[in-house]
Amino acid sequence: MNERWRAIPAVADLMAAKETFWCNDALRPFAEVEQEMGRADIADAAARLQRFAPFIQKAFPETVEEQGIIESPLREIAATKEGMKALGAVPEGRLFLKMDSHLVVAGSVKARGGIYEVLKHTEEIALAEGLLGEDGDYAKLTDHRDVFAGYTVQVGSTGNLGLSIGITSAAVGYRVVVHMSNDAKQWKKDLLRSKGVEVKEYAGDYGKAVAEGRALSDADPKSYFVDDEHSVALFLGYSVAGKRLRAQLEEQGVIVDAEHPLFVYLPCGVGGAPGGIAFGLKQEFGDHVHCFFVEPVQCPCMIAGLATGEGEKICVQDLGLSGVTEADGLAVGRPSGMVTRMMQPLLSGCSTVEDGRLFDALRVLHECDDVFIEPSSCAALAAWQDMAKFEKAKEYIRCHGLAEKMPHATHIAWATGGRLVPEEIRKEYLVKKL
Ligand SMILES: *Cc1c(COP(=O)(O)O)cnc(C)c1O
C-alpha cells in the first residue's frame, strides 16, 4: 500500500516530512461543477443567521454594533508583504488578511460554523417546544434558559471548535461537554471551564476525542453531538463567508474577474472550515478564485486524502508521520471524507509548511502591521509565500494563463484564530524560533 502512495511525487514528499506543493489535477471548470450543486442551502444558512441576529445581540452584547451579525474585517497588509521578503520571494499582487482571527464571541474561524450549528439546533428545539410564539421574536429565546438546560450539546475538539460550541451553547443555556484531544492548549480548557463547560481530556489524538464524545452523546436522547467530520450544518455555516467577502471586496474597490484573479489561502485541519469557506467562495467567484489549503508537514491529512484518492480512509500515521504540530488548530490526522469529496473538483492545490515558518510569519505580521494571530493561522501567510517558492505553484499560474495577470491579483491570507490567546502566551509566541 505504502509503496503505491510513494509513487505519487507529492505523497513521497509528505512521507519524508518535506515541505511540498500539491496541485489538484481533478480541478474542474466551475460551471460544470455548479450544475451538480446548489447554492440554495447557503442562502438558507445566511437567512437563519439573520433571523437569529436579535438573539445574538442580546446574548453577546459585543455584537450590538454590528446588529448581531458576526463578521470579521478584511484588511490590506502591505507592510507585511514587504516584511515577508526577508524570508523569501513573495508573489506579485496585493496582500490582504481576512481576520477571522478576530471574530467576536469565539475568537476564531469556528465562530462561523460552530455558532451556526448551535443556533440551527436551537431553532429546532425552540420550534418543537413552542418557544418562538406568534411574533417569532428570536430575542425572546434568552428567556428560556431553563428549557435549554434540559438538553446537552457535546463536541470533540483540538481547541477552537470546543471554544466556539462551548461558549455559544453555554450562552443559550445548554449543558455542554467538550471532549478535548491531547493537542488542546491548557488555556483553552481553562477558559471553557470558567464558562461552566465540562471539559473531558483524552490521552489520544483528535480522532479519539471525537469517537468518545460521539458515543457518549449517542447514548443520551437529549444530547446533540456536533460532528466536525460529517456535519453539513457546520459546512454551510462556514460557506456564508463567500457572499460577505464579496461585499467587503466591493467596498474596498477590489475587482475580481478574469483579468484580476483572487487567490485565497486557508489553513486546514479536518477540512470543514476551509472547505466550507472555499465552497462559498467558488459559488461567488467561480473560476476567478483560486483556493489553496495549507497544512503542517507532520499533519497533512487533506493532501493525503486527496492526492491518494483515499479520502477519510487514510491518516497521516499511515504515511509514517507523527501528527504532532505547534499548530494545534490543524492537528487533525484524518480528513473529513465529506470535505475531500466536495473539494475534489474545486480546490486548486495545497501546500505543507514546517512549524518554524509559522512563528517567523507571526513575528513579521506583528512587527509590520501590528496584528497578532495564533500559529495555526500563520500557515495562511506561509501558503501565500509558497506561490513564489514552489515550481509547482508557478506551473499552476502558467497553466491557468495567469502569469501576466499576477500584477493585478489579490491574495487573501485567511487568518483563522488568535483573539483569545492570553497575553503571557502571546509573549512566548512572539519570541519563539524553531
Ligand atoms: C479549526 C481551525 C482551522 C481549520 O479548520 P478545520 O475545519 O479543522 O479544517 C484552522 N485554523 C484554526 C485556528 C482553527 O481553529
Q: How far is the CA of 310 from the centre of ligand 1 (A)?
A: 21
Architecture of domain 3-106+239-431: 3-Layer(aba) Sandwich (3.40)
Site to probe by mutation for ligand 1, drawn from 72, 100, 103, 109 as the one with most ligand atoms within 8 Å of Cβ, is 109
> What is the DSSP pairing of strand 223-226 with strand 410-415?
unpaired
- Domain layout of the chain by residue ranges: 3-106+239-431, 110-234
- The atom number, within ligand 1, closest to the CA of 332 reads 8
Strand ranges inside 164-274, DSSP E: 175-180, 198-201, 223-226, 262-267
- The atom number, within ligand 1, closest to the CA of 418 reads 13
CB 274 less than 6 A from any atom of ligand 1: yes
Nearest CA to ligand 1 atom 2: 329
Q: How far is the CA of 329 from the centre of ligand 1 (A)?
A: 5
Architecture of domain 110-234: 3-Layer(aba) Sandwich (3.40)
Residue 65 C-alpha cell reads as 454594533
Q: How far is the CA of 84 from the centre of ligand 1 (A)?
A: 23
Contact between 271 and 302 under an 8 Å Cβ cutoff? The reply is yes
Which of left, alpha, beta for 271 (phi over 0: left; psi -120 to 50: alpha)? left
Q: Which helix (H) or strand (E) holds 157?
A: strand 152-157
CB 416 less than 6 A from any atom of ligand 1: yes
pTM of the full structure: 0.96
How many residues are listed for the chain in this entry? 434
Residue 73 C-alpha cell reads as 474585517
Site to probe by mutation for ligand 1, drawn from 99, 268, 295, 377 as the one with most ligand atoms within 8 Å of Cβ, is 268
- Rounded to whole angstroms, the Cα distance separating 246 from 262 reads 11
> What is the DSSP pairing of strand 262-267 with strand 223-226?
unpaired
Q: Answer yes or no: same fold for 3-106+239-431 and 110-234.
A: yes
pLDDT in tens, the chain (434 residues): 577 899 999 999 999 999 999 999 999 999 999 988 766 689 999 999 999 999 999 999 999 999 999 999 999 999 999 999 999 999 999 999 999 999 999 999 999 999 999 999 999 999 999 999 778 899 999 999 999 999 999 999 888 999 999 999 999 999 999 999 887 889 999 999 999 999 999 887 888 888 999 999 999 999 999 998 899 999 999 999 999 999 999 999 999 999 999 999 999 999 999 999 999 999 999 999 999 999 999 999 999 999 999 999 999 999 999 999 999 999 999 999 999 999 999 999 999 999 999 999 999 999 999 999 999 999 999 999 999 999 999 999 999 999 999 999 999 999 999 999 999 999 999 999 99
